[in-house]
Copies of this chain bind each other. A is one copy, B any other.
Amino acid sequence: MKAMGPIPAGFAAGADGALTLGGFGTEELIGSHGAPLFAYDRAIVARQVEAFRSAFPGIGLHFAVKANPHAPLLQHMAGLVDGFDLASAGELARVEAAGLLQPGLPLSFAGPGKSNHDLSEALAAGVCVHVESEHELERLLQVADIMSQRPAIGVRVNPPFGLKGSGMKMGGLASQFGVDHDRVPALVRRIVEVGAKWRGLHVYAGSQSLSAEAVIEMQRATVALAAEIATEVGLTPPEVNLGGGFGIPYFSGDKPLDIEAVGAALRDTLAARPAVLQDTKFVIELGRWLVGECGVYLTRVVDRKVSRGKTFLVVDGGLHHMLAASGNFGQLLRRNYPVAVANRFGHEPEEEVTIVGCLCTPLDLLADEVMLPRAEIGDVIAIFCAGAYALTASPQTFLSQGVAREVLV
């Protein structure tokens, strides 16, 4: 038997013993939308935003669209957060297609490989561009000149520190992200000198941390770095994006990040900030933490077979929809996501099973030797933590298998 991660809070069974989302049973959802299905629970998203607001009063909250660009989810999110952070012109197009390109929803665009086309799309839509290199700034100024625009520009900083113990460290190293911190003041001066709108600084030092201490330390260091840069250029940054880094529990032993502690420490840090940052607006950019727990991937058992004494459930989904659960996306060691038999939710575990997808590859392993209530052919398996970096981060055309549906409930 191998352990699996904890099922996120907020899920319960209906009267028939089956998992419900947004008041709908899983069979009801699959009946309406098809399987395999990603179902996203809007109440869980709202709960996360409320928890953030309570822990971080006065701090802006941006949604990182890359975590999940499903249109109804973006629309739901638009009513809850203060802005969207984009990582491509394609994400801008998705925001526009969702009817959200309107004044009042600030948009910013970061990413290391912006083409001139990406930059002109961003400028045309009034998006603040976070430049990632000196060369990108010059291209942006050229494009803006051609478009007779006065661009809004932030500078993405490659900080001299990283987020300790983070799933993905994005600072403290040589990196393709942002401009090394010691070259940032010159870049800011150039932005101001050419008459562009300098919007501030963006520092993203890592992601998926469950350690309040590490996030607190990163935020302290970020505020100090912003103060240092602001002092050197002699200007107050209108905005400092503190990045994200808030993790969610995926695996056995993972404990939720203590955001109350992070919020209290950030209040202390900001209370003690130097005068040069007094009028700065601080923003935190979250993707996974806001939506990761709201999503469940539902996939039906098509075969139940025994091989050399081991029981396999073969499902109609697989890594082509949910690569991360197979352990093949940025994980060094494969561990089990939280899974359940949706139509026997909360029942006592009865047997050890290995859940595999329908792809003809041994990589397609969704849950390895987990204890579950007995599942038969036709039953539905729920894989949790499927709200962020799930469907879009999977090789959907692999082996030309079927598509997955998505629904926000």
Contacts and interface: CB of A to CB of B under 8 A. Distances in A.
Contact of A399 (B88, B303, B360): B88
Contacts of A360: 66, 87-88, 110-112, 177
A174 B308 contact: yes
A395 interface: yes
Interface residues of A, number: 69
B87 A135 contact: no
Given A88-B401, A135-B377, A168-B362, A112 B356 contact: yes
A87, A113, A114, A177, most chain B CB atoms within 10 A: A113
A294 interface: no
Interface stretch (A21-29, A42-50, A221-229, A309-317): A309-317
Interface of A is mostly: loop
B168 A399 contact: no
Interface string A355-383: 01111111100000000000001000000
6 contacts: A65-B400, A91-B399, A113-B316, A176-B356, A177-B362, A396-B396
Given A135-B305, A175-B312, 19 more contacts: A65-B400, A87-B399, A88-B400, A91-B399, A111-B358, A111-B359, A112-B314, A113-B303, A132-B303, A135-B303, A135-B304, A170-B362, A174-B309, A176-B354, A177-B360, A328-B328, A329-B363, A330-B361, A391-B397
